[in-house]
Structure 1
Amino acid sequence: MRILFLTPDVPYPPRSGGTIKSMSVLRHLQRAHQVRVLCFRRAPLTPEQEAWTTEAGPIETVPLRRGRSAWNLLRSYAAGVPLSVLRNRSRPMFRLAAEELASEPFDAAFADGWLMAQYVPAGYRGLRVLHEHNAEHLMWQRQAELETSFGRRAVVRLEHMRVRNYESAIVRRFDVVFAVSQDDRVALEGLGARSGSVGLLPNIPQEGLLDRPELQAPGEPTLLFLGTLGWPPNAEGLRRFLRSGFPLLRSRRPDVRLVVAGAGTPRWLERLISKTPGVEFAGAVLDPEPLYRRARAFVDVGVGGSGTRVKVLNAMARGLPVVSLPWGLEGLGAVPGEHALVAEDQRGLADLLGQILENDARWLRLSEAGRTLVRERYVPEIAFAELDAALGATSGDLTPDRD
């Protein structure tokens, strides 16, 4: 098949959860299909990215840089779309996508994320596929529940309703919609997606992690949190852990260290990290392997959100035991106590982290079980089976009926 792949960011190099998933799906599609990529570039391409666009082409990028601001929020109200959609709205991209689909016989248009759904024209007659990295309305609903400020809670609740209405409209326009978890699938079906149109396209870890040698339990009591620090569920969860769970653990194990790594750190979070005893800030890292090798456990303190956590899959694939709040294992089919340790609150996190720091036998069991779970469920040939089936089932009938 010939597929037009629309994605919001240059997916190379894949370092965030979103680009890891986008790159995994793109590579999988390229093995069996002819794929053309259209994406935004939000900064000048690095030499590494320039080389990738040449080697992995055909790939075309469109410049776009539009931040969050009160003015853009007002513009989004006037346009009747959520703020994130307005921030990713581009006339050149509309024009380019329409021209590509009109001038070449693409069998399918693949919108990689809800932000790119707007670029699949209503009149396009090929197969329309939407890949929802998250059930966005569910994520906004949970974010509203976490807000403590009355004013911010009101704004987030309003945005949740706007996202829900928009997401409900777009899932109805696509022939196939993919969710990353069963919970997200149920949420998207509840928005009115076509009967039987919502499938599963689970997240998978970064390529190559399963192929690396087994880790050895380090003697030093070092914990790792690695994630996109600008993502509100991560930032808020880390704030809570630094103010509650981690100090409690330090009161029992004064030698314990926490390494925080990731991009997009808000200034308030940098200040909190810098003044919290026992915490090291690594910032954005190009290669997390030294951090994986140094750490005794991966702690996922994120709260809210939706979908599944790529950072948790990465840690499991690398063989690093995971200790998490309940959100961290949502949708993964992981058994608490077997594949990872799960705490209900900050005190529980401190308790479980203390156990994993001291028990080598339990460390080894969790390391092996996490890798086994990933091998059995979260490799492309298994996780992407429904995508292959959807494309294969339509390869003989590439102009499905439209409502």
Structure 2
Amino acid sequence: MRRADQMTVAHLLSFLKSRGHAVDLYCINTGASASGDDLAWLREACREVHLYRFGKISSTVRAVFGILKKHPLQVGLFSHPEQRREVRSRIGAGDYDIVYTYYFRSAEITRDTGRPAGELPTLDDKRPATFLALQLSQTLNSRRISQNAPNLALRLFYEIESRLVAAYESRIWQNFTHSVVIGSRDVEEISKTCRAQGVAPINNYIFGAHGTDVSRFAPRTDIAERPHHIVFSGVMRTPTNVHAVQWFAQNVWPHVRSALPDATWTIVGREPSAEVRELDKLPGVTVAGTVPDPAIYMAEAAVCINPMQAGGGMQNKLIEYLAMGKAIVATPVANEGIGATPGEHLLVAETAGDFAAAVIALLNDPERRGALGAAGRTFVLENWTWESHWLRLEENFYAALPPLEGARVNNGGGLA
């Protein structure tokens, strides 16, 4: 439970338990190793934990059959039949008040199991309220990945996937009571996709972003900043992160080193790909890989960067930088789901030249770095704590229940 989505779900489980809810987790195990402590914590946080094996051959077969149904490849991969059968059996038995499906890749597991979009609950309605956490516009995300793919084969693959995603995303929301998105930009993009597909724009959305651990990611006065030092943090096998550091290395880093020959840059994050490890050969660059605590490395940075070209939605690394009171340079893509104010909380730059100029300027201006860092920390405390977002989500859970449903919830109703 170390990647962004995993941490999001883990924090949600912890929050729901602390609020007295009974939660059953149905989760595909893709083969990553979990420590005994992690598994023990998970079983303590949940009433039940159901793990399903992600077989490579069977998953590939499901993906192929999914494409024949015009489902995106990623949806087919995660349409686990045993998971689907068991979840639907429990929903049909009336075991749950709320069914929360994280990410549209799992939508086939729970689609049409509760009240559809636009149908109000009634007193005798025993169907659960279903929430599909779309999070971001997957159409926009896959299109950006296609446009920034490093070779023709991947570009064609993601182009095909983006078209399948557009057709699917524009309709799947109708099969759930509510859709959960991060912000208004995602609503705009999904609505645009709906209109392009000839269907009604999404109208059952609620906003449900997530936050960061403001105690773990906090200013560290016990750790000195390294002069002219830059840090990028992220899971370093994710294509969008790989492309981001490659873009920075090729287009920005030479300008920074030319202006500041002693400048250094550390890339922090799990499972660095071969392309990322290759960057370790560049002058001044260190690929740290997996580290016990990325916050320590961020604390040493004079400037933290997020040069994302593809992707969208939540950028955990950006919130963590802000929470630590660091001076930041980011692209508009990286900031669009966060909404920090350019010039007040961070610097935003789109072109390589502007990005380099912003980084160099901040490396040479400790007073400006301090002002941006302090404002960024305040911004996170006011807008991006875990609790503030989860409390709003819980309010939406209760609002989606039938009238007087509280009595049944107190008698054992749960969440899946």
TM-score calculated relative to the size of structure 2 = 0.84
State the distance in 2 between where 1:216 and 1:269 align: 27
Structure 1 SS opposite 2:175: coil
Q: Which moved more, 1:193-202 or 1:91-100?
A: 193-202
CA deviations on 1:28-81 (whole Å, 9 max, x unpaired) are: 333332211111222253212222123212222222143899987655433532
Alignment-derived partner of residue 30 in structure 2: 42
Choose which of 70, 84, 90 in structure 1 pairs with 2:74. Answer: 84
Q: Are 1:269 and 2:258 an aligned pair?
A: no
Matches within 5 A, 1:1-400: 12=1, 15-32=2-19, 33-43=21-31, 44-58=33-47, 59-66=49-56, 74-124=64-114, 125-147=127-149, 149-190=151-192, 191=194, 196-206=203-213, 208-209=215-216, 213=220, 218-271=225-278, 273-397=279-403
Judging changes above 3 Å, is the alpha-carbon distance between structure 1 residues 181 and 260 closer, same or farther for their aligned structure 2 residues? same
The residue type paired with residue 228 of structure 1 is: V
Match of 1:5 in 2: none
RMSD: 2.6
Q: State whether residues 215 and 318 of structure 1, in contact with CA within 8 Å, keep that contact through their aligned partners in structure 2.
A: no
1:331 and 1:123 mapped to 2: Cα distance? 30
The residue identity in structure 2 corresponding to 1:117 is: A
2:330 and 2:155 mapped to 1: Cα distance?
26
Q: Do the aligned residues in 2 keep the contact of 1:176 with 1:198 (CA within 8 Å)?
A: yes
Give the Cα separation in 1 of the matches to 2:39 and 2:285.
36
Unaligned stretches of 5+ residues in structure 1 = 1-11
Deviation at 1:268, TM superposition (A): 2.6
Shift of 1:331: 2.7
Distance of 2:153 and 2:111 partners within structure 1: 37
Percent identity (aligned): 22
**TM-score, structure 1 as length reference:** 0.87
Q: 1:99 to 1:142 in 2, by over 3 A?
A: same
Judged with a 3 Å threshold, the aligned counterparts in structure 2 of structure 1 residues 47 and 70 are, in CA distance, closer, same or farther, namely: closer
Structure 2 counterpart of 1:350, which letter? A
Distance 1:147 1:45 in 2: 31
Residue 97 of structure 1 aligns to a residue whose secondary structure is: helix
Cα gap change, 1:89 to 1:203, in 2 (>3 Å)? same
Q: Is the 8 A contact 1:217 1:360 kept in 2?
A: no
- Alignment length, in residue pairs? 385
Structure 2: which 5+ residue stretches go unaligned? 115-126, 409-416
Q: How far apart in 2 are the matches of 1:339 and 1:355? A: 15
In structure 2, how many angstroms separate the alpha carbons of the residues matched to 1:40 and 1:154? 28
Taking structure 1 as reference, are residues 280 and 210 closer, same or farther at Cα in structure 2, changes over 3 Å only? closer
1:303, distance to aligned residue in structure 2 (A): 0.8
> Could you tell me how far apart the structure 2 residues matched to 1:267 and 1:82 are?
27
Q: Secondary structure at the match of 2:56?
A: coil
Q: Which moved more, 1:188-197 or 1:98-107?
A: 188-197
Aligned residue in 2 for 1:6: none
- 1:143 Cα shift? 1.8
Alpha-carbon distance change, 36 to 72 in structure 1, aligned in 2, over 3 angstroms: closer
Secondary structure of residue in 2 paired with 1:356: helix
What's the CA shift string for 1:207-226, capped at 9, x where partnerless? 53356655776243211101
SS in 2 for 1:166: helix
Q: SS of 2:343's equivalent?
A: coil
SS in 2 for 1:390: helix
Distance (Å, rounded) in 1 between the aligned partners of 2:225 and 2:81: 53
In the aligned structure 1, how far is the partner of 2:58 from the partner of 2:370?
Answer: 44
**Residue type of the alignment partner of 1:257:** T
User: Helix, strand or coil for the counterpart of 2:288?
Assistant: strand
Contact 1:132 1:178 (8 Å CA) reproduced: yes
Alpha-carbon distance between aligned partners in 2 of 1:264 and 1:252, rounded to the nearest angstrom: 31
Gap change, CA 1:395 and 1:61, over 3 Å in 2: same
By how many angstroms is 1:350 displaced? 1.7
Following superposition, the deviation at residue 105 of structure 1 comes to 2.3
One-letter amino acid matched to 2:170: S
- Measure, in 2, the Cα distance between the counterparts of 1:232 and 1:68: 24
Q: After the TM superposition, which of the residue ranges 317-326 and 28-37 deviates more from structure 2?
A: 28-37
Q: SS of the residue aligned with 1:280?
A: strand
**Local SS of the residue matching 1:152:** helix
Provide closer, same or farther for how the CA distance between residues 206 and 87 of structure 1 changes in structure 2, counting only shifts above 3 A.
farther
String of CA shifts for 1:188-208, please: whole Å, max 9, x gaps: 344357764111112312353
Distance 1:211 1:292, change over 3 A: closer
